[in-house]
Amino acid sequence: MRSVSCENLLEHSAQVAQIAHALAVINNKIFGGTINPERVTVLALYHDSSEVITGDLPTPVKYYNNDIKQAYKNIEVVANYRLLGMLPKEIKSEFAPLLIQDTDDYENKIVKAADKLSAYIKCIEELKSGNNEFSKAYKSTLALLEKNMLPEIKYFLDNFIKGFELTLDELD
């Protein structure tokens, strides 16, 4: 069971990294930003590292109320410090900024937005394959994206999301 969870975490982190990279490029090329796409990509690869220790808590539970949300964020911080503590002292300084991220900087806002966009794309894919269990998540995830709409997300939704809604036959 653990290997399936780790595999899903790796797949998810890879997709978030790809989307975060694209959002950073959009920031720079479309909106004149100066974000380092490679740094954003690496931050995205590590964004859920705490789940190696905590496991993944379903979003509806994580965000049920502010008390639970804050408690879980605290657990994630403790888990990331624990991971950092497991590393040899010679390399801790390289991993510290990846495991203990400043959630207020714009690079991390890009990663958080990429994470939500990844969840939204997952909903699209599930609905496309006939899994209507994702219809509520589709709506709520889109509402979250719209509530915290970064210009890069709007651009991505306006220009690329339709491609995820098409079948392979329709992609030509």
Measuring CA to CA, which residue among 61, 81, 84 is closest to residue 71? 61
Mark which of 64, 80, 100 sits at the end of a domain.
100
Looking at the fold, whether 11 and 82 belong to one and the same domain comes out as no
Question: Are 110 and 24 within 8 A, CB to CB?
Answer: yes
Looking at the fold, whether 18 and 83 belong to one and the same domain comes out as no
Looking at the fold, whether 111 and 165 belong to one and the same domain comes out as yes
Looking at the fold, whether 73 and 114 belong to one and the same domain comes out as no
Cβ-Cβ contacts under 8 Å for 158 (sequence gap 6 or more): none
Looking at the fold, whether 68 and 114 belong to one and the same domain comes out as no
Other Cβ atoms within 10 Å of 89 Cβ, number: 6
Measuring CA to CA, which residue among 134, 145, 170 is closest to residue 19? 145
Looking at the fold, whether 110 and 167 belong to one and the same domain comes out as yes
Phi (first) and psi of residue 75, to 5 degrees:
-60, -40
Looking at the fold, whether 9 and 78 belong to one and the same domain comes out as no
Looking at the fold, whether 89 and 108 belong to one and the same domain comes out as no
Residue 54 belongs to domain spanning: 50-100
Residue range 96-120: average pLDDT? 90
DSSP label at residue 132: G
Instruction: Count structural domains, the chain.
Output: 2
Residue 102's SS3 state is coil
Looking at the fold, whether 81 and 61 belong to one and the same domain comes out as yes
Q: What's the distance, CA 84 to chain centroid?
A: 21
pLDDT at position 170, please? 76
Render pLDDT for 123-135 as a digit per residue (tens, 0 to 9): 999 999 899 998 8
Looking at the fold, whether 10 and 78 belong to one and the same domain comes out as no
Give 159 or 12, the one with higher predicted confidence: 159
Question: Are 165 and 126 within 8 A, CB to CB?
Answer: no
What is the token pair recorded at 155? 């651009």
Read off the CATH number of the domain in which 155 is found: 1.10.3210.10
Range with lowest mean pLDDT among 29-38, 53-62, 71-80, 132-141: 53-62
Looking at the fold, whether 96 and 116 belong to one and the same domain comes out as no
Mark which of 100, 115, 131 sits at the end of a domain.
100
What is the share, in percent, of the chain residues with pLDDT greater than 90?
Answer: 51
What is the token pair recorded at 3? 């290997």
- For residue 40, which amino acid is it? V
Question: Are 71 and 64 within 8 A, CB to CB?
Answer: no
Looking at the fold, whether 68 and 153 belong to one and the same domain comes out as no
Nearest-angstrom CA–CA distance, 147 and 4 = 33
| pTM of the full structure | 0.84
